[in-house]
Each structure stands twice: as C-alpha cells, then as structure tokens.
Amino acid sequence: MMRKPTNSTTATLLAAQKFTRRLLLSRSSMLGVAAAAGPFIVKDARSSSGTLNILNWDDELPNPVIPDFEKKTGIKVNATPFSQNEEQINKLQATAGEGFDVCQPTHDRAPQFKDLEVLAPWDTSKLHLDGLLPSMLATSTKLWTWDGKLYHVPHCWGSEAIAWRTDLTTLDYKTLSYGALWDDKYKGKVQGRPHSLLLTIGLWWDATGKLPSNRMLDAYKDEAAMRKIYDQILAFAVAHKASIKQFWDSADNTKSGFLENGCVIGETWDGPAISLRKAGKPVAYMAPQEGAITWLDGWAITKAAKNTAQAYEWINYLHSPEASAKVAEGSGYNPVAKGADALLSDTAKKVFAESYPGDALQRIWPRPVEPSWFAELRTQYAEKFKAA
C-alpha cells in the first residue's frame, strides 16, 4: 500500500512541504495586486551601470530574462552556466569564489556551501523579500540562516519525476510508479541521473514494503544507515543496468535523449520535459505515486563579489512578478514571486495540471538537507553505478 507523506524529524522537510501550486495560487491571488504595485520594478535603462558575474544553472535564465535586465539597468551580465551542483561547487572551490558575484545553490546543499566558506550573507535591508511567496522564502531562511544571517534567497522551484515519449508508450497517474523505469518493455530505452535513479528505487521499494526506509529519510540518519539501504539499491541497479540507454547530466542532454537518442522513458527534471511538451513535442512529464522529488534553487552572494550593488539590483529584478514569471514560462520550472502565477500562459498552467494530477501535490518528496558526509557517499554510489 502506498504510504502518505510522513512527518520528518528534519526541519528541512517541514520547511519544504509547502511546495504546492495550490498554495502558490492562493497566495498569489490574495497578494498579487499588492505585489504588482510593490517596490519591485527596476529603474529605467541606464539607471545603473557596471557588470555582474553570475554562476548559474544553464536552463534557469531563459530569454529574455538577462537581456531585459540589461536593458532596464545598463548592467552587463557575464554568465557562467553549469548543469550540476557538483560542478558549481567545484568551480567555487577552485577559485574561493573569485570571479563570481553570485551563484545558484539548491536548497538541500546548505551544509556543503557552509563548509566551503566562500559565501557572504545577504543584507536583507537591500532586498524586497516581502515580494516572495512565504513558503519559498521560508525554505531559504530555515536552511540557510547561520550566525543570524541569511545566505540564500529563492529563484525557482521544480521537481524530478517521470517523463516519457507519448507516441511510444502510455502511462496513467493512478498506476504510475518509479518501478516503471525498470519494466522489461523499456529495457535499453531508459534515461536518468545516476544518484536520482538510486533514490527512486528506494522510494519505490519503500512504497511496496520491499525495503522500508521512512520514504528514504532513514538514509540521512548516519553513514551506517545509508550504507545499509544503498548497498541493496546499488546491487539492484547494477544488475539491471542494461535498462539504461543514457545517464543525463544536463537539461539539453535530457532533451536529446528523448528526441535523438532513442529514450522512451526516464527519470528527469520537470523543466526539460515540460519545455519539450510546450514546444509541441511528444513528451509528457508526471509525478508518480511515490511522489515527485522537489527542490528550490536560489541565489547566494560570494565573499569575493566585486559588484555587490549590481548583485542586489539583479536579485530584486528577479523577484519581481514579471521576471519570476518569465523564468518559469521559459524554463518549465515554477515561480517564487507573489503574483507571478497570474502572468503565466494558459499553456503553462495546463501542463502543470497535467504533470501533477489528482493528489500528486500531497505526495511530493522534498529533498532533505544533505550533510556533507551524505553528499560524498551518494557520489560514491552514483559513480559505482555508472562504472558497473
């Protein structure tokens, strides 16, 4: 029997459990008018100047987000894209943050970024945080506040679940499971991210009772508990590796997997699959019965930042309803600013409803905060899976 989400002993889960579009819609409708009239409009063109160096997710700043900001402010944005948190962390480690004014951590990576010691706290008096949905801001403040200071502000939220070629197979929400990825009929036609595939096996087995793990939260207790769970998961994944057509490592790689490389089904981010669907391609994305894996990406300022005034203009621009909506509309992810939902296209709203049907928003699995030891071990298991 499928378990409903349980309360976590971790503050992270409590903070992130509010990732639902119903909450976004209700708060947007109640506060949208005030948000639209709030202090979030960036000054006219050439009101500022200089440059801004950003380290950003490669698919979370779709056109015309950066060009519009440059036109409004006169600030030139130099973007260095990355496709995985590990890549971002490595770049920051290599330079101690030098060369980047702001970067884009995911909410669950707070301990790792704290250990890096390359971030500076935000001066919240210079930010328009009251323009954000309270649930989104709460995730940042609860996980990224230390020494009484805030180190992270929201950008967009999304999920990982199941995507498939609608012209090659048919799936239904009532029976959709992460276990479908390992169905023999898809052998050699599956794509996924290694560490996420391992997680989804655990969620699938927990739901069926094969490997009870408190919805995989037990793996976050300590190293011994994690190894006990992941050793069994890895053995299954290795034994069934023939199912995998490709391991994706970026949004573009995910798209090409479906359109060019023969993948029929996969564990993917929502953004790439939803972008393909909105473009008229035969691809769908949907949360399974075990729950979509949700996350929040945000912005942090580095200790080495040289363009701090520009950084604050950038964040306040992105937190306007208009910019937040543009981020969501172009990327396929979801906005964090009050009033942004009302600015999304009917197509975007329709695809969202199709992706999270029925009680899907009540079954979500927010990524818990990852201690550094967990992140290191998880990488080891993922590499063993890839190398098998």
pLDDT on residue 48: 54
Cα-based distances in Å from 373 to 104, 213, 297, 388: 21, 19, 21, 23
Q: What is the mean pLDDT of the chain?
A: 90
State the burial class of residue 46 (Cβ atoms within 10 Å of its Cβ: 0-12, 13-18, 19+): exposed
Q: Are the beta carbons of 321 and 188 closer than 8 angstroms?
A: no
Instruction: List, in sequence order, every residue forming a beta bridge with 189; answer none if it has no partner.
Output: none
- pLDDT > 80? residue 27: no
- pLDDT > 90? residue 293: yes
- What fold is seen in the domain 11-157+295-355? D-Maltodextrin-Binding Protein; domain 2 (3.40.190)
Of all residues in the chain, the percent with pLDDT exceeding 70 is 88
> DSSP state, 267?
E
Segment holding 56, helix H or strand E: strand 51-57
pLDDT on residue 45: 34
Q: Are the beta carbons of 290 and 133 closer than 8 angstroms?
A: no
Helix axis angle, 270-278 to 321-331, nearest 10°: 80
Same topology for domains 11-157+295-355 and 160-293+368-387, yes or no? yes
As a whole number of angstroms, the distance between CA 107 and CA 10 comes to: 14
- pLDDT > 80? residue 372: yes
160-293+368-387 under CATH 3.40.190.10, yes or no = yes
> DSSP state, 82?
E
pTM for the whole thing?
A: 0.87
Q: What is the pLDDT of residues 45-87, one digit of tens each?
A: 334 589 999 999 999 999 999 999 999 999 999 999 999 999 9
Q: What are the residue boundaries of the structural domains of the chain, listed by start? A: 11-157+295-355, 160-293+368-387
As a whole number of angstroms, the distance between CA 371 and CA 150 comes to: 19
Buried b (16+ CB within 10 A) or exposed e, 207-231: beeebebebbbbbbbeeeebeebbe
Nearest to 17 by CA among 286, 215, 212: 215
The pair of structure tokens assigned to 132 is 């954000």
Confidence of residue 2 (pLDDT cuts 50, 70, 90): very low
